[in-house]
Structure 1
Amino acid sequence: MFDRIREKLNILADAAKYDVSCSSSGGTRKNDSKGLGDSHSSGICHTYTEDGRCVSLLKILLTNHCIYDCLFCVSRKSNDIKRAAFTVDEVVELTMNFYRRNYIEGLFLSSGIFKNADFTMERLLLVVKKLRLEQNYNGYIHLKTIPGASDELIKEAGLYADRMSINLEMPTEAGLKLLAPEKNHADVIKPLDFVQKQISQFSADKKLIKHIPKFVPAGQSTQMVIGATPESDKDIMYTANAFYKNFSLRRIYYSGYVPISNDTRMPIMGTQPPLLRENRLYQTDWLMRFYGFKVQEILNDANPNLDIDIDPKLSWAIRNMQHFPVDINTADYKMILRVPGIGVMSAKKIVQARKFGKLRIDQLRKIGIAYNKAKHFIVCSDSPYQLKDYQGTQIKAFILAESKSKYLKTDSNQMILF
């Protein structure tokens, strides 16, 4: 690899790490010339398919030049950093070379905005067209939509990309205006809505016409930066819920703000949200998507922020003790899903297994539930005590005392994160 291309790759792969709209490996192992591969500087990240396969992606920006001055972004125009830009052919060549060497299985391509939205989107489109049409590349491509780009460019890009995404940036319009006054949520909502309508239209046409090209078959996603503005967890998850509902998004990613600016408009200047907050937001997201919870059940005016010391499912259960204990041998599937310590697969196994007889504690352990947590909320054939013997605060204390989490240590007065 030529030195200049390598330098560009180092700069633009490093700039792309702040976009978490695909899962990152977080690897730091360098090649010391005695082995194969390098997980540190090559810009390769990992994402996962719906069937659980791990897919390696080349994750880069086309350029880190940008006409915008968003305070939370390392590529903002006022930031004094090294600038670089790939040509279309360079991205194509990098992708194909890495793919032929079995380093990657796909491409995640984003970009700063230079000149204007259409100029940038045209070059992203040229990359994916060259890969598909000239190189006959059939691997996975995740392409960033540029806010403000024309519908025609976005539609054509959707014929070549597997997934498209566009960053919402801040959870609220007020937060976005505070840190990126040149941007607005309308420029994000418009392409999300357009792509969703196109996906629906192509799907409807496929029922009538045999040979219809695929359009964004892996759907859309978006990303919100959390902690750079003072929104509550309720604000964040209500926004997420609306976007899931209105645009059928596959995923929303929650990225804790990494302090990169000393501007006085940054309300938490010099600090970084705890990783546990990100984790709790993802857990809430999971409850909404796969466990049948409504966002209002988890977060509301009385509870605007998530508990850091316990997961949101356990927090909900403790606040709603009137629904417990759940009889594992008679309760319906939806209620079993709401028991802390029981996941989707375990709930399905319980419903199937009890057809052959009443379930006992040892059988529930074999099924794979987190019994030390679930035991406080269920009864089965040989339950040792009734839930009514304890208050919610007592149960929370029991579970925290038994916790072996490396992130949490508790005493009688406080929680310490480390």
Structure 2
Amino acid sequence: MDHVRLGMLAGVLLFLIFLSGFFSAAETSLMTVNRYRLRHLAESGHRGARLARRLLRRPDRVLGVVLLGNNFGNIAASSVATLMAVRLYGAGVLALVTGVLTLVILIISEVAPKTLAALYPEPVAFGSAYVLTPLLRVIYPLVAAVNFTANHLLRAFGVSVKPRTPDQMSAEELRAVVLEAGSLIPTTHRAMLLAILDLEKSTVEDVMVPRREVEGIDLGADWDEIVDLLGRSHYTRLPVFHGSLDNVIGMLHVRRALHLALAGRLTRDTLKSAALEPYYIPQGTPLATQLMNFKTMRRHIGLVVDEYGDLMGLVTLEEILEEIVGEFTTQAPGTPEDIFPQPDGSFLINGSTSIRDINRTLGWQLPLNGPKTLNGLITEYLEDIPSPGTSLLLNGYLVDIVRTRGTAIQVARLKAHAVATKKRDEDE
């Protein structure tokens, strides 16, 4: 190549250096581009996104063509630089030329293009896809030979090289995407989306009204008591039973009782006939599943039963929706009305209050993987029924038993300990 002018060799050298930089940028952008946004853009008709997505279905092929191009550029640039150095200064400067060329390639062909591609992966990836797609077709035999050898080497180590299936986002990945959305999604909407993802982790026992707090109509009670209950009840639907909740007859909408009263036909028999057949929900049913069941069955309320058919409590559609949008009802058991702040920073809390409600209201982190109420949490921890005046440190929270009744804790005083406060601040 002695007859080739130095100016032409210099031009070829620059071209090879920038060619290597192009392949470096293409590799980084295609490997870092957001797969879910890529799929969205491809399905929306973006041609560059479609080409990039098609390339990424076989990462071994796209890496084959990228690395072939990158290494070709680097090696060819080294050869051209060596030839120019020998013609200009002789073989004595080869070491210097090698060092300078290494630095140039590192900056111009590696660091700079890869940094650019990492900062702007989408435009770089889409632009690169227009070049790599036809290039892959042209040199496919060479790429196939390289991939064949590399794939068999990987299989020898037990690595699968099957084509990639369409990207599927797990619940945790979706959670991370929602959290990283920042100002793109309003804070309220972001909290609702995260709550929807958490529905599958919670069951109907987490939100149900416990059996002892279920308000219903006992047809065996005095008639004046029944009428009084219908007039003062805060609920629109009440279970109708005879004697006890083990003998539920149906679910009564209070509006039906009002219509019967206005028509002068309100009796025990008409109340019984106006009640709809009860809807039973097995314990352990995920909230997401039950939400869909309510929609399918066109019901708003159900009775939670255990494996033996014994009634555990009652759950409503509103209570599940509150897990998503937050509290919007009033005067219901287990709500913040059972939590009373004190001047010293502590809280008097009824023992029947749900642990979930305490955590949600106070921003605490009491454990949720065990008992559902404060009473259950304390008694499980102590393995005994404590007497008033008993104090303990529970999961980083100071607990003082204020009042008990029978086998249950009626009121306890809780205060966040310094350990719990520090842990919560670190999490935030």
- Fold match by TM threshold 0.5: no
- Larger CA Rg, structure 1 vs 2: 2
TM-score (norm 2): 0.27
As a proportion of its length, which structure holds more helix?
A: 2
